[in-house]
Amino acid sequence: MKNTFAFPGRELLVPEIVKSDNCTLIDADGNQYIDLEAGIWCTSIGHANLAVRNAVISQIDNISHVGFCYSTNVVERAAGAVLDLLGHGGGRCSFLCSGSESVEYGVRALRTVLNSKRIMTMSDSYFGAYGDASAKDSDKWFLFDWSECERCTHEVCSKDCSVYSAILFDDVGAFLFEPGSSSGMVRFPPAKLISNIVKDVTAADGLVMVNEVTTGVGRTGKWFGFQHYEMQPDIVAMGKGIGNGYPVSAVSLNSRVVDLLGPDAVAYGQSHLNDPLGAAVVEAVINEINGHNLIQHAEVLSDVLMDGLQRVAAGSDLIECARGRGLMAILIMADHVDVSQVAELHRKLVSRGFIVDHRLGTNALRMHPALTIGVEKIYNFIAVLEEVVGAMEIELG
């Protein structure tokens, strides 16, 4: 690349993709790749999706942008579809441009009604590239280290636990939960822990917000990651897969939050707020997923992907573990494997036609295929992964 920067922390291995079809990418030399990274986890229903394409073209033919004092019906329809998905009847939905924005918008809504109370979240949460949600200053946030909770054998979290009792609920006005990304490391807090936190926060009239930018839109085998837990959030931030590659995000506020806010809108505005093109894409994505039963499809494919990854992990001293939920998975390499060797494994997989995600300097490979991927492509990937890992074991002795 001469005219722009590569994505920070990543290695550009295929510089010129010229065509795509669902999960298949084709480069300028005619080489084909299966996209198991799914375009930075954004293309939830595949590249070059016809329904999304048609929605964009149709909307451009009508109106592509709105102003301060005029809107168009597709925004209202798409917002209604999002609210229905979440059971947020009587609430409000806004469309923005990125996951970072949707989280920040939700946090600003919380700040408007929390007064001086802090927002609680897990210490390994990632909420975006800027703003209050990114900074997580200690005077405004309570960061909870839940690492010891993974090994807990107690059936219920209580104030008798030294770890749980460290949560200062009297000072907490809201809980912002990321149900599975953990800054990209694909870790899932125990259900009993989350249920207890939600219960204690809501018992004090606190609010619950969920960051579904990565885990939403079918990624975990359900429409939203929070649906694996006993909870009903007041605010939900969405991004990535909700636009299938188009830069749109959404944030949904239930009726309770709307009532607490009163007549004033959330103090956040930008030029593409409630953009009709983005709204048209969101509507198309929701209709495609529901119309083709892609959530159920992802649940079935999850068993194939996770069984395969765990089999490869169990048979190799190079891999510590494989974990995941739905079509969100990660391979953690063993401690004795140097990060440069993980980067080489990544390059070999790409050279064999399978694109996975590797952040330079880490010992992990991530897979986030589209919900539309065929089962045979997953089987082929597992076979190639097993072969490449086996060859690396021989090479390393």
Condensed to tens digits (0 to 9), the pLDDT of residues 312-335 reads: 999 999 999 999 999 999 999 999
- CATH number where 337 lies: 3.90.1150.10
**Quick one: 128 and 275 in the same domain?**
yes
In a domain? residue 369 = yes
- CATH number where 253 lies: 3.40.640.10
Using pLDDT thresholds of 50, 70 and 90, give the confidence band for residue 218.
very high
Q: What 3-state class would DSSP assign to 264?
A: coil
pTM of the predicted structure, to 2 decimals: 0.96
292, 317, 352 — which closes off a domain? 292
Using pLDDT thresholds of 50, 70 and 90, give the confidence band for residue 226.
very high
**Quick one: 69 and 184 in the same domain?**
yes
**Quick one: 101 and 220 in the same domain?**
yes
Would you state the pLDDT for residue 263? Answer: 86
E-only strand ranges, the chain: 17-21, 24-27, 32-35, 92-96, 118-122, 141-144, 172-177, 207-211, 235-238, 249-253, 319-325, 328-333, 354-355, 364-367
In a domain? residue 105 = yes
Number of domains in the chain: 2
In a domain? residue 150 = yes
Would you state the pLDDT for residue 302? Answer: 96
In a domain? residue 231 = yes
Using pLDDT thresholds of 50, 70 and 90, give the confidence band for residue 397.
confident
- Rank 20-34, 146-160, 359-373 by mean pLDDT and report only the highest: 20-34
292, 327, 351 — which closes off a domain? 292
**Quick one: 253 and 194 in the same domain?**
yes
**Residue 340 pLDDT > 90:** yes
**Quick one: 254 and 339 in the same domain?**
no
**Residue 172 pLDDT > 90:** yes
**Quick one: 112 and 65 in the same domain?**
yes
**Quick one: 255 and 287 in the same domain?**
yes
Would you state the pLDDT for residue 373? Answer: 97
**Residue 265 pLDDT > 90:** no
**Quick one: 335 and 269 in the same domain?**
no
For the chain, give the percent of residues with pLDDT over 70: 100
Domain that holds residue 59: 50-292
**Residue 48 pLDDT > 90:** yes
Would you state the pLDDT for residue 133? Answer: 87
**Residue 283 pLDDT > 80:** yes
Between residues 161 and 76, the one the model is more confident about? 76
Between residues 48 and 361, the one the model is more confident about? 48
Using pLDDT thresholds of 50, 70 and 90, give the confidence band for residue 219.
very high
Using pLDDT thresholds of 50, 70 and 90, give the confidence band for residue 46.
very high
Would you state the pLDDT for residue 264? Answer: 78
The one-letter amino acid at 366: R
In a domain? residue 4 = no
For residues 166-187, one letter each, b for 16 or more C-beta atoms within 10 angstroms of the residue's C-beta and e for the rest, the string is ebebeebbbbbbbbbbbebebb
**Quick one: 359 and 229 in the same domain?**
no
Q: What are 103-159's pLDDT values in tens digits?
A: 999 999 999 999 889 999 999 998 988 888 889 998 999 999 999 998 888 888 888
Separation CA 115–CA 117 (nearest Å): 6
**Quick one: 297 and 285 in the same domain?**
no
**Quick one: 225 and 358 in the same domain?**
no
- As beta bridge partners, residue 22 has 47
CB atoms within 10 A of CB 7: 10
243, 271, 292 — which closes off a domain? 292
In a domain? residue 118 = yes
In a domain? residue 12 = no
In a domain? residue 78 = yes
Task: Please give the C-alpha separations between residue 242 and each of 45, 184, 245, 251, in angstroms, as whole numbers.
Answer: 9, 18, 8, 11
For residues 350-384, one letter each, b for 16 or more C-beta atoms within 10 angstroms of the residue's C-beta and e for the rest, the string is beeebbbbbbeebbbbbbbbbbbbeeebbeebbeb
Would you state the pLDDT for residue 81? Answer: 98
Q: What is the mean pLDDT of residues 85-113?
A: 96
**Quick one: 266 and 136 in the same domain?**
yes
